[in-house]
Structure 1
Amino acid sequence: MKSCSAMETTSFIKFSLMSLIWIIVLMNEIHGYKACLETERTALLEIKSFFISVSDIGYDDKILPSWVGEDDGMSSDCCDDWEGVKCNATTRRVMQLSLNETIKFNYSSGSGSALLLNMSLFHPFEELQRLDLPGNWFTGIYENRAYDSFGSLKQLKMLNLGDNFFNDSILPYLNTLTSLTTLILSDNSIEGSRTKQGLANLRYLQVLDLSGNFNITSGSLTRLGRLLR
C-alpha cells in the first residue's frame, strides 16, 4: 500500500509540474511575450566581448553596459532592454544593430591601432536588416572566409561603415550584399578606382554615401553615379 501511495504522489507531482509549465506557456502566448532567441543573445554577448577585447584597458564598464548576461549577476531581454538592439516584434529576432563608436581608445596615450572587422560575428542574425558600425577605427576585413561572411547577411538592406579607415579593398566584399539599398562609406579612404566593378552586383542600391573620401576622383564619382540609375 505504501508503494502504491508513493507512486500516486509522484504521479501527482509530475502532473502538477507539467500543468504549471503549460499554464506559463499559455500565459506567455496570451500576453504575446517572447524573449530574444538564446542563440542571438549569446552572439550579442560575443560581439560585446570583441569590442572590449580591442578597446583600451579600463573601458569595460563603458562598452555596451546594458548588454548583460547571467555571468554578470543579472539578466535582461536583449530585444527590449539592450541599447542599439531592435528586434522583430513577432519572431523576436534581431533586425537592427547600432554599434556607433563602440570601440574605446585613450587618445591621450596615443593608442588606437587599426582593426579588422570580423563579419562572422553577425552570422547568427538571420533577419538583420540594418547594421551601423561608424566610428570604430576599422581598416579592413578579417580575411577568413570574408566573402561568405558578408554573403550570409541575405536580408541586410542598410549598412553604415562611415568614419572608419576602409579603402577600396572592401568593395568586393560589399558586392556580395545583394539586398543592400543603402550603403554609407563616408569619411573613409575610398579612392573609387575599383568601385564600379566592386559594387556591380548591388542592383537594389538606392543610396551610396561617399562624402569625405578625399582621394576619390571625379571620374570615379561619375562611374558610381551610374550604379544608382
Structure 2
Amino acid sequence: MNCPSPGAPQGVDVPGRVTPTIDVVLPCLDEAEGLSWLLPRLPAGARAIVVDNGSTDRSVHVARAHDALVVVESVRGFGAACDAGLRAASADVVAFCDADASLDPADLPAVVDPVVRGEADLVLGRRLPSEGAWPWHLRFANRELARRARRRTGLDVHDLGPMRAARRGALLGLDLADRRSGYPLEMLVAAADAGWRVQEVDVPYRPRLGRSKVTGTPLGAWRAVRDMSRVLAS
C-alpha cells in the first residue's frame, strides 16, 4: 500500500489506500436540482466548494444544507467561477466537476488517484455518454476541439470534459487568465507547455438536470467554441 507523505491531510476513500483530502469545485448557476442529487454522493473526505455565479433559484440553500462551502463570484463566466473556487480551496488536491448531475462524484476517486499517487500532474475525465446525454452537435464540436488540442499540445487527449484534478499549488502556478468557456482548454494547454504529465480516465456521462447555461442554446454553444478557439490561437 502506498503511504502518504508525512503531514499530508487524510481523507478521500480510495480502496486499499489512504489519500489526501480533496476540495471539489462546483461552478453553479441555477443548479439546485443537480446539487440535490450530487452533493450527497461526494466521496468520504471530499469537501464541496459551490461557486455561485448569480443563481436565482435555491442553489445556495441546497449547497449550505449539505455543508458545502459557498463562494459567491459576481463576475459571470465558467472560468471566473472555477478560478474563485480554486482560490477558495485549501486542500492539496483540487478537483473540478459540473454541478448539473451529468457527472457522478462517486467517480472522482478514479480521477484523483493518479494525482495522489504521483503518476500524473493533471487527470481529465473522458466522458462516456449514455443515451441522450450529449447532443450530436456538442459532441462534434468537442471532438474537433480535442483534435486541435492534440495538434497544439502533442498530448493524446480526446475530451475537454469538466471533471479533472490536479494539485492546487501547481494549478495556481499556471496563472490561468480565461474567465469564460476557454478555461478548461487553457488549463490543458498551459499544463502541456509546462511539461505536465497528463492522463485521461473514462467516466460515465449522463443527461444533465436542467438546461445548460453555456451550451444549452446554439448561441451558447457557439460562444463556448469561440472562447476555446481563442485559447488555441493565442
If the length of structure 1 is used for normalisation, what is the TM-score?
0.27
* TM-score computed with the length of structure 2 as normaliser: 0.27
Q: From the CA coordinates, give the structure whose radius of gyration is larger.
A: 1
Pick 1 or 2: higher relative contact order, CA cutoff 8 A, min separation 6: 2
